[in-house]
């Protein structure tokens, strides 16, 4: 592996796009594989990328070091399901050692099935908060949505994470006619556990059998109803992503609404996304990308930097999703919410 750099290097060449937006946050998919098959995310019979096309753990670390050297402060590991990647504990440890040494925060988005095993590993590596996806607290419904998930295992995983001292945010994809009747109860449960809750609008991602337009639920209506029931106080918190936040009166937690289809967050976009294959996407809703895998394997640091510069030069100003549109390329390589 020739493309290495010191994580302690200063951001001598910050990643700034042609609209002056500085990239400080990277979401890195560490595998396209998953132990679940959520209907809105994956087909029942998935064809996964051949293993040799996926970045090795060493290559992921080398790439993370380049990002850190170029001013990235936050890295979120995602997938597929990051905790099913073999050797994930080594990756978590390696990236954790960059905390305080260029990197400010390491986080993860997980489906929670493996948290019983990995919660302590995450905590001791320096991870302080994680997002856990949970679309239903009804076992039958959970199994239906995920096609194979065991709710009790995920809830036990969440308990392990909480016991380990990790701050937890629950991600719930809001699905019309599937789990919309559970949203208020989920918010109350999150309040009782001290977890923040982010509701996510279904996005046109990936190749799945279900027709997502059937289950598309605009969060504006959900917000109005939660406001009446709980009282929502607008929060100034911003992440540079597609979420807006409210403090929930009396519950002491924050509600996030992730509405990528409404196109209102692009001006503050601070992020890029890396698929498990080393493809880097500048925008959630566009096919614009660069391929870093071969450059990491044989091109050297300059070649990787040059490709990142090309990505930044062409990073679109904004995305334009339609719920009935064909999925952009980013969706075929990785899913992208929950940040």
Residues that bind ligand SAM (CB under 6 A): 34, 40-41, 78-79, 81, 109-111, 133, 171, 173, 200, 202-203, 205, 335, 337-338
CB of 285 to ligand SAM, least distance (A): 12
CB of 39 to ligand SF4, least distance (A): 8
Q: Which does 42 bind (CB under 5 to 8 A by kind): ligand SF4, ligand SAM, none?
A: ligand SF4
- 3-class state of residue 94 by DSSP: helix
Figure out which of the listed residues 15, 30, 42, 200 binds ligand SF4, where binding follows CB under 6 A: 42
* Part in contact with ligand SF4 (CB under 6 A); list of ranges 37-45, 157-165, 260-268, 310-318: 37-45
Q: Which does 90 bind (CB under 5 to 8 A by kind): ligand SAM, ligand SF4, none?
A: none
Nearest to 119 by CA among 87, 168, 155, 164: 164
Judged by CB, which is closer to ligand SAM: 145, or 312?
A: 145
Strands, sheet with 289-291, edge to edge from the N-terminal-most edge strand: 232-234, 243-248, 253-258, 196-201, 167-174, 129-133, 105-110, 74-78, 25-29, 271-274, 279-281, 289-291
Interface residues for ligand SF4 in 276-315 (CB under 6 A)?
Answer: none
CA 93 from chain centre, in angstroms, equals 19
Dihedral sign, Cα of residue 297, residue 299, residue 300, residue 306 = negative
CB of 69 to ligand SAM, least distance (A): 26
Contact (Cβ atoms closer than 8 angstroms) between residue 290 and residue 280: yes
Binding residues for ligand SF4, total number by CB under 6 A:
12
Token representation of residue 36? 């679940």
Distance (Å, rounded) from C-alpha 117 to C-alpha 126? 16
Nearest to 325 by CA among 286, 267, 280, 289: 286
Q: Is 335 in the site for ligand SF4 (CB under 6 A)?
A: yes
Residues that bind ligand SF4 (CB under 6 A): 34, 36-38, 41-42, 79-81, 111, 133, 335
């Amino acid at each position: 592996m020739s493309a290495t750099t010191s994580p302690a290097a200063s951001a001598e060449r910050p990643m700034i796009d042609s609209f002056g937006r500085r990239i400080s946050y990277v979401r890195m998919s560490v595998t396209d594989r998953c132990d679940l098959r959520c209907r809105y995310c994956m087909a029942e019979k998935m064809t996964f990328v051949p293993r040799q096309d996926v970045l090795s753990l060493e290559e992921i670390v080398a790439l993370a070091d380049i990002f850190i050297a170029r001013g990235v402060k936050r890295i979120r590991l995602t997938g597929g399901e990051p905790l099913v990647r073999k050797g994930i504990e080594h990756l978590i440890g390696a990236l954790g050692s960059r905390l305080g040494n260029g990197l400010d925060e390491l986080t993860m988005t997980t489906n929670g099935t493996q948290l019983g095993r990995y919660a302590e590993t995450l905590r001791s590596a320096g991870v302080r908060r994680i997002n856990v996806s949970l679309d239903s607290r009804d076992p039958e419904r959970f199994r239906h949505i995920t096609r194979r998930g065991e709710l009790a295992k995920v809830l036990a995983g969440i308990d392990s994470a909480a016991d380990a001292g990790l701050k937890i945010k629950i991600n719930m994809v809001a699905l019309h006619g599937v789990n919309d009747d559970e949203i208020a109860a989920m918010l109350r449960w999150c309040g009782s556990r001290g977890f923040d809750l982010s509701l996510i609008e279904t996005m046109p991602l990936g190749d799945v059998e279900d027709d997502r337009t059937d289950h598309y639920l605009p969060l504006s209506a959900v917000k109005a109803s939660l406001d009446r029931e709980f009282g929502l106080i607008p929060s100034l918190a911003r992440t540079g992503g597609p979420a807006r936040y409210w403090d929930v009166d009396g519950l002491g937690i924050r509600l996030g609404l992730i509405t990528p289809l409404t196109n209102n967050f692009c001006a503050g976009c601070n992020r890029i996304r890396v698929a498990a294959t080393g493809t880097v996407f500048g925008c959630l809703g566009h096919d614009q990308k660069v391929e870093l895998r071969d450059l990491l394997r044989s091109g050297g640091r300059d070649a990787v930097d040059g490709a990142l510069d090309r990505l930044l030069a062409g990073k679109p100003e904004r995305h334009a999703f339609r719920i009935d549109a064909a999925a952009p390329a980013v969706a075929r390589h990785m899913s992208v919410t929950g940040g």
